[in-house]
C-alpha cells in the first residue's frame, strides 16, 4: 500500500490569500506551500482510493487515474469542493463513502452526477475495498466526521482529520488496533490566537500541536504525520525552530509513504 499526501493545508491553505506572515511569504517564493487542502491518496494493486476531495484540480487528477472509490471524512467545503466539478464528468460512476450527514454540502446529494453516494457509513463497521479493510471511526468536529483505520492485511494506518481530541470509543479502538502509522489533524500552533476568545483557551474543532502529539504518544505508532496545517502553524515552526518527537513529522503536499 502506498499513501500519498495530496494536500496538507487547512481551509485557507498556505499561502493564505492577502497574508504577509513569514510562512505565506516563504510559500509564495519557494516551494514550501500547501496549495491543496488536507487530502490523501491510497494506491494498492494498481487501484486508487481517494481520502477526501477538496482539491480544486480533482477532475484533472481523476483523469490521470480514475479512482476506484472516494472516502469522505465529512462535508466541509475544504474536503469536498472538488466534487462539485468532478460530478459533471462522463463514464462509469464513482462510489463515494462517507458519514451520514443529511445536509451534505451544497447540492451534491440532490445532483450527484457520476458520483454514486453510498449509504452513510456506520462507525466501527468495516468496509472492504479490494484488499483494504477500512473501519470508520467517529471524530470530534463541528459536522458528522469519520476518521478511517485502513489495513491492507499487513500495515495499519489511521487517518484522523478533522478532529479535536478523540472520542473515547475511537481511542479505545485504536489502542487495541495498534496502528503503524497515524495521520492527524494539527491545524493550530499551541499558542493559537483565535479571533474567537473561547477557542484561545482550548481549540474547539481542530487539534493544536500539543493535543496531536499527546494522542500520538498514547497510540504509540512507529510513524506519525501532522496535517491540515494552517499558515499560523507553519509560521510558528519557522519562528521557534521547534523539533518534533522521533517518528513524527509535518506532512507536506505530495509526500509519499510506501508501507
Ligand atoms: Zn500567513
Ligand atoms: Zn472540517
Ligand atoms: Zn478541514
The pLDDT of residue 203 is 81
Torsion of CA 112, 87, 4, 75, to 10 degrees: -40
CA 54 / ligand 3 centre spacing (Å): 9
Position 81 scores a pLDDT of 97
What integer is the mean pLDDT of 245-258? 96
- Rounded to the nearest angstrom, the distance between the alpha carbon of 106 and the centre of ligand 3 is 16
Which ligand has the nearest atom to the CA of 13? 1
Ligand 3 centre from 207 Cα, in Å? 11
Is the pLDDT score of 95 beyond 80?
yes
% residues pLDDT > 70 (the chain):
96
Cα gap 253→33, rounded to integer Å: 8
User: Residue 94 pLDDT > 90, yes or no?
Assistant: yes
Q: How far is the CA of 234 from the centre of ligand 1 (A)?
A: 8
pLDDT of residue 197: 57
Q: What is the pLDDT of residues 144-185, one digit of tens each?
A: 999 999 999 999 999 999 999 999 999 999 999 999 999 999
Secondary structure (3-state) at 1? coil
Measured in Å, residue 45 CA sits from the centre of ligand 2 at 30
For the cut 80, the answer to whether the pLDDT of residue 200 exceeds it is no
Mean pLDDT of 59-88: 97
**Residue 194 — very low, low, confident or very high, per pLDDT cuts 50/70/90?**
low
Mean pLDDT of the chain, nearest integer: 94
Say which range, 57-71, 113-127, 196-210, has the weakest mean pLDDT.
Answer: 196-210
Ordered domains of the chain (ranges, CATH):
2-258 (3.60.15.10)
pLDDT tier for residue 241 given thresholds of 50, 70 and 90: confident
For residue 152, how far is its CA from the centre of ligand 1 (angstroms)? 38
Q: CA-to-CA distance for 148 and 173, rounded, in angstroms?
A: 11
**Which of 25-39, 41-55, 184-198 has the least mean pLDDT?**
184-198
Q: Is-contact 259 157, C-beta < 8 A?
A: yes
pLDDT of 201: 60
Going by the DSSP 8-state scheme, the letter that residue 66 receives in this structure is -
Least confident of 66-80, 101-115, 197-211: 197-211
Q: What sign has the CA pseudo-torsion 20, 22, 23, 28?
A: positive
Task: Give distance in angstroms: CA of 53 to centre of ligand 3.
Answer: 11
Average pLDDT over residues 54-71: 96
Confidence of residue 31 (pLDDT cuts 50, 70, 90): confident
Other beta carbons less than 10 A from residue 201's beta carbon: 9
Whole-structure pTM value = 0.95
Amino acid at each position: 500500500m502506498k499513501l500519498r499526501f495530496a494536500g496538507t493545508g487547512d481551509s485557507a491553505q498556505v499561502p493564505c490569500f492577502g497574508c504577509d506572515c513569514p510562512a505565506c511569504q516563504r510559500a509564495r517564493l519557494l516551494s514550501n506551500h500547501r496549495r491543496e487542502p488536507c487530502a490523501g491518496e491510497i494506491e494498492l494493486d494498481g487501484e486508487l482510493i481517494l481520502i477526501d476531495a477538496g482539491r480544486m484540480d480533482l477532475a484533472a487528477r481523476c483523469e490521470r487515474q480514475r479512482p476506484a472509490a472516494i472516502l469522505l471524512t465529512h462535508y466541509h467545503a475544504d474536503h469536498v469542493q472538488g466534487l462539485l466539478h468532478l460530478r459533471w464528468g462522463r463514464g462509469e460512476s464513482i462510489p463515494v463513502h462517507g458519514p451520514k450527514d443529511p445536509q451534505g454540502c451544497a447540492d451534491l446529494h440532490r445532483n450527484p452526477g457520476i458520483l454514486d453516494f453510498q449509504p452513510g457509513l456506520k462507525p466501527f463497521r468495516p468496509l472492504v475495498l479490494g484488499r483494504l479493510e477500512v473501519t470508520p471511526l467517529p471524530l470530534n468536529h463541528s459536522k458528522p466526521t469519520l476518521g478511517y483505520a485502513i489495513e491492507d492485511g499487513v500495515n495499519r494506518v489511521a487517518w484522523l482529520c478533522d478532529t479535536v481530541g478523540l472520542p473515547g470509543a475511537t481511542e479505545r479502538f485504536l489502542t487495541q488496533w495498534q496502528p503503524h502509522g497515524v495521520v492527524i489533524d494539527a491545524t493550530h500552533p499551541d499558542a493559537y490566537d483565535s479571533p474567537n476568545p473561547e477557542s484561545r483557551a482550548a481549540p474547539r474543532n481542530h487539534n493544536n500541536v500539543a493535543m496531536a502529539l499527546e494522542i500520538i504518544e498514547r497510540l504509540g505508532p512507529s510513524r506519525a504525520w501532522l496535517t491540515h496545517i494552517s499558515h499560523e502553524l507553519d509560521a510558528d515552526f519557522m519562528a521557534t525552530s521547534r523539533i518534533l518527537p522521533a517518528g513524527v513529522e509535518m506532512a507536506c503536499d505530495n509526500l509519499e509513504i510506501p508501507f
